[in-house]
Amino acid sequence: MTRILTLPYALLAYLIFLATMGYFLFFLAGAVVPITVDSPSQHSLTVAIAIDIALILLFAVQHSVMARPAFKRMWTKIVPPSMERATYVHASNVVLIVLIVFWQGIDIKLWDIQQPIVRTAIWVLYVFGFLMVPVVSLMINHFDLFGLRQAWLHLKDREYQPLPFRTPLLYAIVRHPLYLAWGAAFWITPTMTAGHLLLAVGMTIYMGVAAVIEERDLVGVYGDQYRKYQKDVPMFVPRLGSRLEAEGTS
Ligand SMILES: C[S@@+](CC[C@H](N)C(=O)[O-])C[C@H]1O[C@@H](n2cnc3c(N)ncnc32)[C@H](O)[C@@H]1O
């Protein structure tokens, strides 16, 4: 039964993710869609800040806890292993939709660049940064990240093999290009409100902590290979003039 259900379950998670991400592009831009990061709050400033912080914490806890090996070991006693990653994607979708729906905008402008050419250039950079998120996910294994590979292997009755350690393209320059792309999406805007800043700061802190925790797990999985990678390649900020040969540490 799970053999038949796993692939549609994972595909549904993936499609909802794509739709949510499409919405999120405009949510962060504060344009086109009805609810955005700048939608005015109906609450006092203190309550609005408290709700926003609770939403960021919910996002951080769900993403961090469900990605830990110990949680996965326990969780896969309930959820079939082939559905574990797709379930993570479903949960992440729910959390992101909750964040979008309940986010409280705080309309205090910290910067507001109106010069048309500069404003357009910033929008172009924003879209580029945002689109780097799916592009970077393709560099390691997009379909594994979204649970589709696990579901496909299960359908074909083939055993799941974890991804090998790799350092392709941007992974030869920094260890966390996906978080860097997310950072660009959160920070690059011609009009920064206090609500948007709260989201950008909260997510940046979360990604910093998540990267440290993720690396502990990666050292556990890949051992000295990952330790060497940590020595050779910076976490977030590229070092001028130094770049691993793509795939060089694999
Ligand atoms: C959401 S991705 C984020 C990757 C990274 N933190 C980044 O910002 O690009 C997390 C998954 O990527 C995998 N991963 C991260 N770096 C990797 C590497 N160099 N080779 C293979 N898998 C990697 C981890 O095992 C984890 O399952």
pLDDT digits (tens, 9 = 90+) for 40-93: 999 999 999 999 999 999 999 999 999 999 999 999 999 999 999 999 999 999
Ligand 1 contact, 171 CB (< 6 A): yes
pLDDT of residue 239: 86
What value of ipTM does the predicted structure carry? 0.93
- The C-alpha angle 175, 218, 2, rounded to 5 degrees, equals 115
Q: In one letter, which amino acid is 105?
A: G
- pLDDT of residue 36 exceeding 60, the answer is yes
* Radius of gyration (C-alpha) of the chain in whole angstroms: 19
Task: Domain ranges for the chain, please list them.
Answer: 2-232
Taking the centre of ligand 1 as the mean of its atom positions, its distance from the CA of residue 249, in whole angstroms, is 15
Which residues have a Cβ under 8 Å from the Cβ of 110 and sit 6 or more positions away? 192, 193, 194, 197
pTM of the model as a whole: 0.92
Ligand 1 center–CA 197 separation, angstroms: 26
pLDDT band at 173 (very low <50, low <70, confident <90, very high): very high
How many whole angstroms from 4 Cα to the centroid of ligand 1? 29
* pLDDT per residue as tens digits for the range 204-221: 999 999 999 999 999 999
What is the tens place of the pLDDT at every residue in 114-154? 999 999 999 999 999 999 999 999 998 899 999 999 999 99
Residue 63 burial (10 A CB sphere; 0-12, 13-18, 19+): middle
Give distance in angstroms: CA of 164 to centre of ligand 1: 11
Confidence band for 244, pLDDT divided at 50, 70 and 90? low
Residue to substitute in 137, 218, 227, 233 for testing ligand 1 pocket (most ligand atoms within 8 angstroms of CB): 218
Q: How confident is the model at residue 249 (pLDDT cuts 50, 70, 90)?
A: very low
